[in-house]
Amino acid sequence: MAGAGLKGARERRVRTGGIELCVAELGDAARPTVLLVHGYPDSKEVWSEVATRLAEEFHVVLYDVRGHGRSTAPAPLRGGFTLEKLTDDFLAVADAVSPDRPVHLVGHDWGSVQSWEFVTVPRTEGRIASFTSMSGPSLDHFGHWIKTRMTRPTPRRVGQLLGQGAKSWYVYMLHTPVLPELAWRGPLGKRWPKLLERLEKIPAGDYPTASLPGDAAHGAWLYRDNVRARLSRPRPDAFAHAPVQLITPTGDAFLSERLYDDLGSWVPQLTRRTLPAKHWVPRTRPDQLAAWIGEFVRAHEEPSARGARPAGQPVRKGVRPEHAERFGGQLVLVTGAASGIGRATAFAFAEAGARVVAVDRDAEGAARTAEMARLIGAPEAWGETADVSDEQEMEKLAAKVAADHGVVDVLVNNAGIGLTGSFFETTPEEWKRVLDVNLWGVIHGCRTFGAQMAARGQGGHIVNTASAAAFQPSRALPAYSTSKAAVLMLSECLRAELAGQDIGVSAICPGIVNTGITATTRFAGVADEAEEKRRQRKASRMYGLRNYPPEKVADAILDAVLHNRAVVPVTPEARGAHVLSRLAPNALRALARWQPPA
Amino acid sequence: MTSAVASELTAELRGFREVQRLSYACAEAVAAQLRPGVTEREAARMQREWLYERGVRDWFHRPFAWFGDRTAFVDFRIPLQFFPTNRRLEPGMPFILDMAPVYKGYTADIGYSGCLGLDPLHDKLLADLREHRELILREVRERRSLREIYEDVDRLMVRQGYANRHRAYPFGVIAHKIDRVRERRFAPTLFGFGTQSLKGLASDALHGHRDGWSPLWSPYKFSDHPPTTGLWAVEPHLGFRGTGAKFEEILVVTDSRDPEQSAFWLDDDLPHVRRWNEGAV
């Protein structure tokens, strides 16, 4: 009988050191082996979502750590869970499932803690091809981390110590005798699934399994047998002998991001990733994990890829590492990507290693954006033609993108057009056009791609390009400002609605940026084409003199996603107007009366 | 490819072509010697010495060398930043060599873009310069105003997704006139520019100012006139996220009524043109 969610798994039992481990295998055994190690309090079923995704391409192996799930527990328990014994278990499983090829190790939580031991002790050398770690530091590295901070306690270091010290409350609890066991076998064990659902937002289902109380009770010895010993006397030689991919959930309640600050000195080949999620990423972000694990395994499997740049590391200079860590491999869709802010945004995501879909009415421009994006670091990029104001086209596009490339992780609704002129000179058709593109374009984008994001339930981010005109009124821009103010409010409302699903929504208010929008702006009330051209040229020249580059707006967009910001005014004038709109709205009203010279 | 009317070049044009070829030969020779660790200053000195050995004594401007993101003039705020620095060349880095020697009284001003190793992005930039070379010649033959041509080049760059980096040059010029220079034994330079050439440029600027034209081809109003006859060193410069590429060569503008003869590139046998032609085959 296979465990919950591990349909079609082949099971075997591996005997080692007086106990029996329950090992499950999925996928073609001839493919590279990916070995998934679970954490505490868990059993191998925590990986079910990730394992089924990986099994399409790899030989996936999971096992219940001793004392967990359907593996037997050592007797006596005390002293039966040392990292040395866990290493024996790992070697026994690895030898059984992949006797002549090294395995790709993946660990979460305590599975990662013990995998760090595997990857840093000499006797496993040559048995591990790569290691992907999430939410579980090496106890030795952790010990050194504490030591350096205790011996030279600068205020920042003391802060880091106290921060992690507070997050580790459960470790102290687990060191008390008997009580944790009683709690787990009693009320805590019963309430745990609901707690996970509420606090960690883990989708309800067949996880956690029925073995939880026993797993958790036995697993307390993982802490008692190792934590004090290793933290007080960390090994000085805990260097990794395999490439490591570190995936750090930024919302982890138990582990500070700062724990990994010094990791570079322990791991010669380190790839960092960040994920806006809580602790249980194998349950909440299986798609992203499977993608990153797959990419990392492929990069360290094929001999041709060896010596090439490590997966996820920026190729180009000047790319901020935090962007590459966060956006590497993600699917990003940008509308209005044939020029201006949209194109610069597509390029910025491409440089960070994201896969980019560039959408625009201008097919040639979108294709060009995609082509250049591939040249600067996007592993894949596509140009798509669509008019954002056309509902059917957007629905078709959304279906096509989902079928061909998957659900988008970051959606940038950027397409917009300019319209200026007095209210009474603006015709209903002009009103309709500007609202169709600037507002309805955003609505269609959020409805189609946002719906896919929400349905997937694994987070994501939506960026809507509003404008400083959203809070700076002007007699010269009634229609444009109205459309952008609507986008701003739409973003705020949507942000509230989607917060529960870990989907962030940001509104970007750029201000005066040197892009092509001025060259296509419609001047309401100007019937003469030559006169309109003249005014467009003049506006372009003014914007050119201001010369605020769209690249800086793109950078602000990436930061907005990274930090999940709600409203981001970009240029100094936009920031100034944003502050004034709250402190001294009358000043903006006075400014709104100013009529720009024709 | 639009070809120069090479058959019947006057002696004067042959003189200019000779120094332009010499300059490109220098650029290719120096580029071939660039190794990781060479600094911009060293690269500039190599150009200077190579040309000095072959008889160059005066300059329109002394040789420049830009490495890495300096090829795209990233964060250039003051003109002093154009001068060669101690930045070292690294594998994969793009570079630009730019020199303007005076030889036997003839001036050339050339720019040579290269890359230490393979970079598909750099190749793309170089390939995309071709369209600019064709656009400029076409519109000069149409006798469009220089300012308009400048704006068209600008628009083409934007469409290609690039930033206009010749905007960073003094006065934002895409080209400037060059002329013969009197050979003197004493040929000092001022901020890297030969005083003789500066004098010529200043005198042109003065005459131009009276007659409504300028020896500087810029985006500003003083360039709002049809191309004036003479020799223009044209230097469109593309920048893309820390990578820059340019070419610079002499465009001859004449008062001929025949469009083919009214404007032509002085020489089509230049490294970047050969590269395009080879790529096209």
Lowest-confidence segment of A185-189, A580-584, B69-73, B200-204 by average pLDDT: B200-204
The per-residue pLDDT for A303 is 56
Overall average pLDDT of the B246-273 stretch? 93
The per-residue pLDDT for A305 is 47
pLDDT confidence of A3, banded at 50, 70, 90?
very low
Scored b (16 or more CB within 10 A) or e, B153-169 reads bbebbbbbbbbbbbbbb
Query: Is it the case that residue A257 has pLDDT exceeding 70?
Result: yes
Q: Residue A210 burial by CB count (10 A; 0-12/13-18/19+): exposed, middle or buried?
A: exposed
- For tokens 């003839």, the residue is B106
Q: Residue A393 burial by CB count (10 A; 0-12/13-18/19+): exposed, middle or buried?
A: middle
Fold topology of A327-592: Rossmann fold (3.40.50)
Fold topology of B11-280: Creatine Amidinohydrolase (3.90.230)
Whole-angstrom distance, CA of residue A216 vs CA of residue B90: 54
Q: Residue A519 burial by CB count (10 A; 0-12/13-18/19+): exposed, middle or buried?
A: middle
Structure confidence by residue, pLDDT tens digits, A513-570:
998 888 889 999 888 999 999 999 899 888 888 889 999 999 999 999 999 999 999 9
DSSP per-residue string spanning B190-206: ETTEEHHHHHHHHHHHH
Strand order in the sheet with B249-253: B216-217, B175-178, B230-234, B249-253, B263-265
Q: Which chain A positions have a beta carbon within 8 Å of B69's beta carbon? A: 317-318
Residue A174, token pair as written in the block? 């687990």
Residue B274, token pair as written in the block? 């050969």
Residue A17, token pair as written in the block? 């050191």
Whole-angstrom distance, CA of residue B234 vs CA of residue B20: 13
Q: Which chain B positions have a beta carbon within 8 Å of A513's beta carbon? A: none
Overall average pLDDT of the A409-435 stretch? 95
Give yes or no for a contact between A454 and A502, defined as CB atoms under 8 angstroms apart. Answer: no
The per-residue pLDDT for A5 is 56
pLDDT > 70: what percent of chain A?
Answer: 97
Selecting from B124, B161, B241 the residue whose C-beta is nearest the C-beta of A351 gives B241
Give yes or no for a contact between A436 and A442, defined as CB atoms under 8 angstroms apart. Answer: no
Structure confidence by residue, pLDDT tens digits, A290-318:
999 999 999 998 655 444 444 444 457 77
Scored b (16 or more CB within 10 A) or e, A25-54 reads bbbeeebbbbbbbbbbbbbbbbbbbbbbbb
Whether the predicted interface score ipTM is above 0.85:
yes
Selecting from A316, A318, A343 the residue whose C-beta is nearest the C-beta of B161 gives A343
Whole-angstrom distance, CA of residue A376 vs CA of residue B242: 11
Overall average pLDDT of the A258-264 stretch? 93
**Mean pLDDT across chain B:** 91
Whole-angstrom distance, CA of residue B46 vs CA of residue B28: 12
- Report the C-alpha dihedral over residues B147, B148, B149, B150, rounded to 10 degrees: 50
Query: Is it the case that residue B209 has pLDDT exceeding 90?
Result: no
Give the closest-approach CA distance of A238 to chain B in angstroms: 33
Q: In this structure, which amino acid lies at residue A490? A: L
Structure confidence by residue, pLDDT tens digits, B219-242:
988 999 999 999 999 999 999 999
**Mean pLDDT across chain A:** 93
Scored b (16 or more CB within 10 A) or e, B260-280 reads eebbbbbbbebbbbebbeeee
Give yes or no for a contact between A515 and A339, defined as CB atoms under 8 angstroms apart. Answer: yes
DSSP per-residue string spanning A454-482: HHHTS-EEEEEE--GGGTS--TT-HHHHH
Query: Is it the case that residue B5 has pLDDT exceeding 80?
Result: no
The per-residue pLDDT for B78 is 87
The per-residue pLDDT for A310 is 47
DSSP per-residue string spanning A71-139: SPPPSSSTTSS-HHHHHHHHHHHHHHH-TTS-EEEEEETHHHHHHHHHHHSGGGTTTEEEEEEES---H
Whole-angstrom distance, CA of residue B281 vs CA of residue B278: 5
Query: Is it the case that residue B91 has pLDDT exceeding 60?
Result: yes
* Cα separation values, A24 from A34, A291, B62, Å: 12, 21, 72
Taking an 8 Å cut-off on Cβ atoms, the answer to whether B161 and A368 are in contact is: yes
| Same-fold call for A10-305 versus A327-592 | yes
Residue of B nearest to A519 (CA): B155
The per-residue pLDDT for B7 is 53
Q: Which chain B positions have a beta carbon within 8 Å of A369's beta carbon? A: 161
Give the closest-approach CA distance of A340 to chain B in angstroms: 9
Q: Which helix (H) or strand (E) holds A283?
A: helix A281-284
Q: Please give the CATH architecture assigned to the domain spanning A10-305.
A: 3-Layer(aba) Sandwich (3.40)
Active site residue A480: yes
Whole-angstrom distance, CA of residue A203 vs CA of residue A368: 41
Measuring CA to CA, which residue among A274, A327, A287 is closest to residue A134?
A274
Helix (H, G, I), strand (E, B) or coil at A19: strand
Q: Which chain B positions have a beta carbon within 8 Å of A368's beta carbon? A: 159-161
Whole-angstrom distance, CA of residue A313 vs CA of residue B108: 43
pLDDT > 90: what percent of chain B?
Answer: 73
pLDDT confidence of B142, banded at 50, 70, 90?
very high
Q: Which helix (H) or strand (E) holds A374?
A: helix A363-375
Q: Residue B255 burial by CB count (10 A; 0-12/13-18/19+): exposed, middle or buried?
A: exposed
The per-residue pLDDT for B182 is 87
The per-residue pLDDT for A311 is 45
Give the closest-approach CA distance of A375 to chain B in angstroms: 5
The per-residue pLDDT for A312 is 43
Residue B172, token pair as written in the block? 């934002």
Overall average pLDDT of the A142-152 stretch? 95
Whole-angstrom distance, CA of residue A301 vs CA of residue A177: 45
Question: Residue A504 CA to chain centroid, in angstroms?
Answer: 11
Overall average pLDDT of the A213-217 stretch? 94
Selecting from A316, A372, A549 the residue whose C-beta is nearest the C-beta of B161 gives A372
Scored b (16 or more CB within 10 A) or e, A232-254 reads eebbeebebbbbbbbbbbeebeb
Give yes or no for a contact between A104 and A32, defined as CB atoms under 8 angstroms apart. Answer: yes
Residue B21 has a CB neighbour count (10 Å cut-off) of: 16
Q: Which chain A positions have a beta carbon within 8 Å of B160's beta carbon? A: 368
Residues of B with CB under 8 A from a CB of A: 68-69, 74, 120-121, 124, 158-161, 163, 240-242
Taking an 8 Å cut-off on Cβ atoms, the answer to whether B161 and A375 are in contact is: no
What does the longest C-alpha to C-alpha distance in chain A come to? 92
Strand order in the sheet with A270-275: A10-16, A19-26, A59-63, A33-37, A103-108, A128-134, A244-249, A270-275
Query: Is it the case that residue A575 has pLDDT exceeding 60?
Result: yes
Q: In this structure, which amino acid lies at residue A379? A: P
**Residue A98, C-beta contacts closer than 8 angstroms, at least 6 positions apart:** A33, A59, A61
Residue of B nearest to A337 (CA): B161
DSSP per-residue string spanning A533-563: HHHHHHHHHHHHHH---HHHHHHHHHHHHHT
Phi, psi of A502 (to 5 degrees): 60, 25
Residue A423, token pair as written in the block? 């209210």
The per-residue pLDDT for A302 is 66
DSSP per-residue string spanning A315-328: -STT--HHHHHHHT
Residue A165, token pair as written in the block? 């010290």
Helix (H, G, I), strand (E, B) or coil at A329: coil
Give yes or no for a contact between A131 and A244, defined as CB atoms under 8 angstroms apart. Answer: yes
Q: A with B: how many residue pairs have Cβ under 8 Å apart? A: 32
Q: Where are the domains of chain A?
A: 10-305, 327-592
Measuring CA to CA, which residue among B166, B139, B96 is closest to residue B253?
B139
Residue A100 has a CB neighbour count (10 Å cut-off) of: 5
The per-residue pLDDT for B2 is 45
Long-range interactions of A165-174: CB distance < 8 A, separation 24+: A167/A253, A167/A254, A167/A255, A167/A256, A168/A254, A170/A254, A171/A223, A171/A227, A174/A220, A174/A223, A174/A224
Overall average pLDDT of the A109-136 stretch? 96
Scored b (16 or more CB within 10 A) or e, A113-135 reads bbbbbbbbbeebeebbbbbbbbb
pLDDT > 70: what percent of chain B?
Answer: 96
pLDDT confidence of B1, banded at 50, 70, 90?
very low
Measuring CA to CA, which residue among B255, B254, B250, B278 is closest to residue B265?
B250
**Bridge partners for A334 per DSSP:** A358, A412
Overall average pLDDT of the A55-62 stretch? 96
The per-residue pLDDT for A7 is 81
